[in-house]
Amino acid sequence: MSDAPAEKINKGKFISFEGGEGGGKTTQIKLLAEALSSSGLDILQTREPGGAEGAEAIRALLVEGDVDRWDPATETLLHFAARRDHLTKIILPALKNGQWVLTDRFADSTMAYQGYGHRVSKKAIHSLYQFVAGNKQPDLTLILDLSTEEGLKRAEARGAEKSSEAHQQEDRYERMGMDFHERLREGFLDIARKNRKRCVVVDANRPIEDIHEDIRKIVFVKFGLATDE
Ligand code: TMP
């Protein structure tokens, strides 16, 4: 039995950030986490693939190495295996404790990258989602949209910075070619059209502060949080 006050239970919200490469999700999550923390909320920042010990081990298998390292179905299963670990060990317990979970990618990335990008059956992806997550879904999904060219250019510049720090290159997806990235951008926009209650598309081709201001407003209005204005 938990002795937490009843209103604390299930109070946490689940927000996912999605989009192609180089859209600035990581920066925007950090800024939103700061804004929500200032409002007194307990925030957990996490990411996929990864976010839990086992899932991080699977991440390395997915983001490093040859482009054709996995066939698309195997790759899809690996993402869902990592997601199950992340959900059961990190996300669900945090939400139960009343924390707000901000994740850098979730299952829409599998639909966009593996479904629209690699053309894995969308029906199979829906079934795997049900198996792994049941009815649990983010309360809000922010899709940071940017032209494919600009996104890949930014991701490449970020990769060059990291390699100078002798990091293992996590650029397997960035090397998948323009057509693949165009398909997944369209995929994210299609997912947004099909899930209008949950998803909001944010134009990521603007200054960081402007994007943050939009995101802050969307989140504060949706969840009825008090603003200073
Ligand atoms: P990141 O660069 O945003 O950390 O994500 C790592 C890569 O994994 C990114 O290129 C997108 C890809 N990915 C998928 O292909 N399917 C998925 O389900 C997830 C979560 C990520």
Map out the domains of the chain with their CATH numbers.
Answer: 6-222 (3.40.50.300)
Contacts of 118 (CB under 8 A, 6+ apart): 72, 75, 76, 180
pLDDT score at 9: 40
How far does the centroid of ligand 1 lie from the alpha carbon of residue 47, in Å?
Answer: 9
pLDDT score at 52: 98
Does the N-terminal peptide bond of residue 138 adopt cis geometry, omega within 30 degrees of 0?
A: no
How far does the centroid of ligand 1 lie from the alpha carbon of residue 48, in Å?
Answer: 7
pLDDT score at 1: 40
Rounded distance between C-alpha atoms, residue 45 and residue 30, angstroms? 8
Burial 68-82 (b: 16+ CB within 10 A, else e): eebebeebbebbbbb
Q: Which of 70, 79, 105 to mutate to test the pocket of ligand 1 (most atoms within 8 A of CB)?
A: 105
Lowest-confidence pick of 91-95, 127-131, 156-160: 156-160
DSSP β-ladder status, 100-104 and 140-145: unpaired
How far does the centroid of ligand 1 lie from the alpha carbon of residue 180, in Å?
Answer: 13
Rounded distance between C-alpha atoms, residue 162 and residue 9, angstroms? 40
Which among 48, 189, 179, 174 has a CA at the least distance from the CA of 119?
A: 179
